[in-house]
Amino acid sequence: MRAVLAPEALEAIVEVLRRRDWRVVAPTVRDKAIVYGEIASAAELPVGWKDVQAPGSYRLERRGDEARFGYAVGPQSWKRELLAPSVRLLQIERANGSFKVAKKAAETARTAFFGVRPCEVAAIKIQDRVLIGGPYADEDYLERRKNSFIIAVNCGEPAENCFCASMGTGPKAEDGYDLVLTEILDGSHRFLAEAGTDEGAELLAELPQQPAEEADTAAAEKVTDTARERMGITLDRSDVHELLLANLEHERYDDVAKRCLACTNCTLACPTCFCTTVDDANDLSGGAGERIREWDSCFTAQYSEMHGGGTRRSLQSRYRQWLIHKLATWNDQFDTQGCVGCGRCITWCPVGIDIREEVVAIRVTQEAKS
């Protein structure tokens, strides 16, 4: 099911969803960045804003038009809604000489993600595979995922660090959404809307709309084609798996270790990274305790610490672990790729380390060898 929506119809989307008791979370401007937050009106979208990204740098600028989605992805990802930064897993209480274990009560609100970019749709699919795709599902994630509704938005204006075209995840979403919009700025400002599920079609049916003509479909196609061309291919993934595994010892890792702060920002900004730590705490009386799970990262020394010390003590080994997991061993482990090319790890690295450049540096010496 397909239709053309006027910009005002976005307000109807928010209205209909809220009327049906969905919490609507969407991009919105806060703290000089485009973050995800609950909105009550489509007016809270970053209307007329764009982001200027570079390695280790992010700035908002005015666009000079009224585009609703004229920017790429920001510091946060939908991971914050699905694999929450901090979750209480268990509560334990002493009772009559024994103890009682209460699992966290399901308190997940039904949440509509409004404005999910194709790379993020792909990232959600990857986390689905990792966290609920095997025999032992992550209950908290599963609960939140079941209560989510995805309105994707295809990309017309990739940021400097976007490389979804290289990873085959964007700038157009192929599936994994309930409804997808493409914003067309050429000619009259309008959106091509396509339903991906029955729920998406139901929502679309309630919106004020025009039938989609061939010209509209062609215009939408042009939006994503232009975006794809603009990005080009900046990471060759065809042989990256072999390349990295053939170069486990490489001088480039010494070089990157001079720059890397092991600060964890890349992994915590990444929409597919899933590492967490679990801590137990007890209360003063010794009568109750709880188990909390929080975001963690393979970049900390503590993360790999076990009896006898840490296993990844050097910064070389930590960066290598991350790079190779993202681009190679992830595929072996989960049968999906680990990187969707959203560019967050590049933009939000405080010293601007660029995953694409690191691969190129390793490739150059490999090519020299052969």
Residues that bind another protein (CB under 8 A): 30-33, 35, 56-59, 74-76, 80, 85-86, 258-265, 268-269, 279-286, 294-297, 300-303, 313, 315, 347-348, 350-352
State the Cα–Cα distance between residues 94 and 175, nearest whole angstrom. 48
Q: Which amino acid is at 22?
A: W
Indicate which of ligand SF4, another protein, none lies near residue 14 (CB less than 5 to 8 Å, by partner kind).
none
The CB-of-1 to ligand SF4 minimum distance in angstroms stands at 23
For residue 152, state whether it binds ligand SF4 (rule: CB under 6 A). no
Beta-bridge mates of residue 290: 91, 281
Could you tell me the smallest distance in angstroms from the CB atom of residue 70 to ligand SF4?
Answer: 12
Length of the chain: 370
Residue 344, binding choice from another protein, ligand SF4, none, Cβ under 5 to 8 Å by partner class: ligand SF4
Q: Coil, helix or strand for 117?
A: coil
Give percent helix, percent strand, percent coil of the chain, each to the nearest 5: 35, 25, 40
Please tell me the number of Cα atoms within 13 Å of 76 on its side-chain side: 24
* Cβ neighbours of residue 291 closer than 8 Å, sequence gap 6 or more: 88, 89, 90, 91, 92, 278, 279, 280, 281
Q: Which is nearer to ligand SF4, 50 or 344 (CB)?
A: 344
- Least CB distance to another protein at residue 348 (A): 6
**248-254-259-265 Cα dihedral, nearest 10 degrees:** 30
- Assess 53 for contact with ligand SF4 (CB under 6 A): no
In terms of Cα–Cα distance, which of 77, 56, 72 is closest to 347?
A: 56
**The sheet that has 23-30: what strands, in order across it?**
2-5, 190-195, 179-184, 148-153, 111-116, 23-30, 33-38
Pick 89 or 360: Cβ nearer ligand SF4: 360
Does 343 bind ligand SF4 (CB under 6 A)? Our answer is yes
Q: Is residue 345 part of the contact set for ligand SF4 (CB under 6 A)? A: yes
Amino acid in position 256: V
For residue 101, the minimal CB distance to ligand SF4 (Å) is: 35
Binding partner at 86 among another protein, ligand SF4, none, C-beta below 5 to 8 Å by kind: another protein
**Stretch (H or E) spanning 251:** helix 251-259
Q: Does 324 bind ligand SF4 (CB under 6 A)?
A: no
Q: Which amino acid is at 245?
A: L
Cis-peptide into 271, omega within 30 deg: no
236 binds, options another protein, ligand SF4, none, Cβ within 5 to 8 A by partner type: none
- Given the complex with ligand SF4, which of 53 and 108 has the nearer CB atom? 53
Output the smallest distance, CB 332 to ligand SF4, in A.
17
Identity of the residue, 51 or 216, whose beta carbon is nearer to another protein in the bound complex: 51
37-45, 47-55, 185-193, 270-278 -> range binding ligand SF4 (CB under 6 A): 270-278
Site string for ligand SF4, 204-233 (x = CB under 6 A): -----------------------x------
φ and ψ of 221, to 5 deg:
-60, -40
- The residues of the shown chain that bind ligand SF4, judged by CB under 6 A, are 72-73, 117-119, 155, 158-159, 162, 164, 170-171, 227, 260-266, 269-272, 299, 326, 339-345, 349-351, 353, 355
